[in-house]
Amino acid sequence: MKADPKGVLTGEHYLDGDHACTEGALAAGCRFFAGYPITPSTEVAERFSARIPHVGGIFIQMEDELGSMAAVVGASWGGKKSMTVTSGPGFSLMMENIGLAAMMETPCVIVNVQRGGPSTGLPTMVGQSDMMQARWGSHGDYEIIAISPASPQEAFDYSIKCFNLAEKYRVPVMFMMDECVGHMTEKVVIPNPDQIDVEPRRLTKKSPKDYLPYEPNEDLVPDMIVAGDGYRIHSTGLTHDERGYPAMKPEVQEKLVHRLVDKISKNADKIIELEEDQTDDADVIVMAYGITSRVTMPAIFKARKKGIKVGFIKMITVWPFPEKRVRELAKKVKAFVMPEINLGQVALELERVVSGKAGVHHIPHAGGWVHDPEDIYKVIVEAAK
């Protein structure tokens, strides 16, 4: 399906990451936004509030992030592609209904423009320390998809990707931006609507009589309905059977929770997007995401000039983690290097997957600023020894 032209601002723009993210959402067909202001994500909401009356849809500033996330889940069942945007403290409040979205298998996008934490932390300064929270911040076992952009152009492009994946896998998708990308202004090219692919909702073709709301297809994802279309379904945050009815039994729980996890992990190859550069004969591989993937590049260039064989993996998808690819590479390389603006979150997963087959060098940063490429360079040199 191609994008609805009403939402697409075709042309060349000079936009910051937050504004570009909004344009991506509108291009993807998002027509419902519920949110609560919080720095440094507010510009996404501001632009949506200005644009949506020209496109057709709703912007509602809710009373808090608890309500925002609940409204997003409700709106998605009402048949609109829906989103919210927040930063650290608001992300914490959203966790409750992110869990509901995962359990009800509700397509939706949560944008987190990350700032330094914990608590109020550094409201106007960069961080990447909500990555683990994005994955498992709500209680219980579930999997989500998380994507990180490194520029305003990517904020536009991958915002669309988030909505498409949310629809395809009926899962909340976390768009893990960071303050630096959110507040950085660069050229953003928005293509024509007929050049933008958007994923439609996977609506059932069955009649209400034959339809079971949680009966999975081969790809483990069930088809959906829109409230008001005559199916009279029930959906609950309780453990439920294929009819959607509560069923508090260990065997139902086993089946449901496994499927919620498997529909992401078993489709990981189709979901994961990486940009690889010179990884084939590398001794050291640097992996990074978001703004850190950019800051890393000068260090890599310098190391290569000094004759070190450095490969680079820019992670566009952070969750699910590219386990398969890292396992392959771990057999061949000396070490992995991962800078990230936290004290070790995605790097922990890297370490687990590498599982001692190669070295893992984490480069921590508590936030407030990006890494100094020189610091990354030094670790690459160390890792290559």
Partner 1 sequence: MKKNAGNVPEHPMENLLRMDRIPHIWCSTCGIGTAVSCFIQALQNFDYPLDKIAVVSGIGCSGRIAGYIKLDSFHTTHGRAIPFATGLKLANPELKVIVFSGDGDLVSIGGNHLIHAARRNMDITVFCVNNFIYAMTGGQCAPTTPTDANSSTSPYGNFDHPFNIPLLVGSCGATYVARWTALHIRRLTRSMQEALEKPGFSFVEIIAPCSTLYARRNRLGTGLDLMKFYHDNSVIQHGAPLESLDIQFQKKIIVGKFIDKKRPTFLEAWDQYLGKKLGDKFISAEKGIRAA
Partner 2 sequence: MARTEIRVSGFGGQGVILCGYLIGKSAALKAGKQATLNQSFGPEARGSACSAQVIVSDEKILYPYLTQPDILICMSQEAYAKFEPELKKDGLLLVDEDLVKDAKSRDKIKLYKIPATRFAEEIGRKIVLNIVMLGFFTAVSGLLDKEAVRSTVETSVPKGTEELNLKAFEKGFAYGSELLKSAPTAGKKKKAAVPA
Q: Among residues 243 and 309, whose Cβ is nearest to partner 1?
A: 243
* Residue 246 touching partner 1 (CB under 8 A): yes
H or E segment to which residue 285 belongs: strand 284-289
Q: How far is the CB of 241 from partner 1 (least distance, A)?
A: 11
Choose, by CB under 8 A, the member of 9, 10, 46, 74 that binds partner 1: 74
Q: Among residues 40 and 359, whose Cβ is nearest to partner 2?
A: 40
Which of 77, 97, 74 lies closest to 86, judged by CA?
A: 97
- Stretch near partner 2 under the rule CB under 8 A, chosen from 10-18, 198-206, 331-339, 352-360: 10-18
Choose, by CB under 8 A, the member of 217, 238, 278, 374 that binds partner 1: 238
* Residue 185 touching partner 2 (CB under 8 A): yes
Cα gap 279→332, rounded to integer Å: 10
Reduce the DSSP state of residue 16 to 3 states and report it.
strand
* Per-residue exposure over 214-238, b if at least 16 CB sit within 10 Å of its own CB, e if not: bebeeebbbbbbeeeeebebebebe
Choose, by CB under 8 A, the member of 119, 209, 230, 305 that binds partner 1: 230
Cα gap 221→210, rounded to integer Å: 17
* Residue 222 touching partner 1 (CB under 8 A): no
Q: Among residues 185 and 265, whose Cβ is nearest to partner 2?
A: 185
Choose, by CB under 8 A, the member of 55, 93, 257, 261 that binds partner 1: 55
State the pairing for strand pair 30-35/81-86: parallel
Phi, psi of 292 (to 5 degrees): -65, -30
* Residue 40 touching partner 2 (CB under 8 A): yes
* Residue 9 touching partner 2 (CB under 8 A): no
Q: How far is the CB of 266 from partner 1 (least distance, A)?
A: 24
* Residue 56 touching partner 1 (CB under 8 A): yes
* Residue 78 touching partner 1 (CB under 8 A): yes
Which of 199, 238, 206 lies closest to 222, judged by CA?
A: 206
Q: Among residues 71 and 337, whose Cβ is nearest to partner 1?
A: 71
* Residue 47 touching partner 2 (CB under 8 A): no
CB 115 within 8 A of CB 87: yes
Cα gap 119→121, rounded to integer Å: 5
CB 271 within 8 A of CB 165: yes
CB 55 within 8 A of CB 49: no
CB 234 within 8 A of CB 243: yes
Choose, by CB under 8 A, the member of 2, 206, 232, 270 that binds partner 1: 232
Q: Which of residues 96-125 bind partner 1 (CB under 8 A)?
A: 96-97, 99-100, 104, 107
Cα gap 211→194, rounded to integer Å: 33
CB 337 within 8 A of CB 361: yes
> Which chain residues interact with partner 1 by CB under 8 A?
4, 6-7, 29, 31-32, 34, 52-58, 60, 62-64, 66-68, 70-82, 96-97, 99-100, 104, 107, 167, 200-203, 226-238, 243, 245-246
> Which chain residues interact with partner 2 by CB under 8 A?
12-14, 16, 39-40, 123-124, 180, 183-187, 291, 294-295, 297-298, 369-370, 373
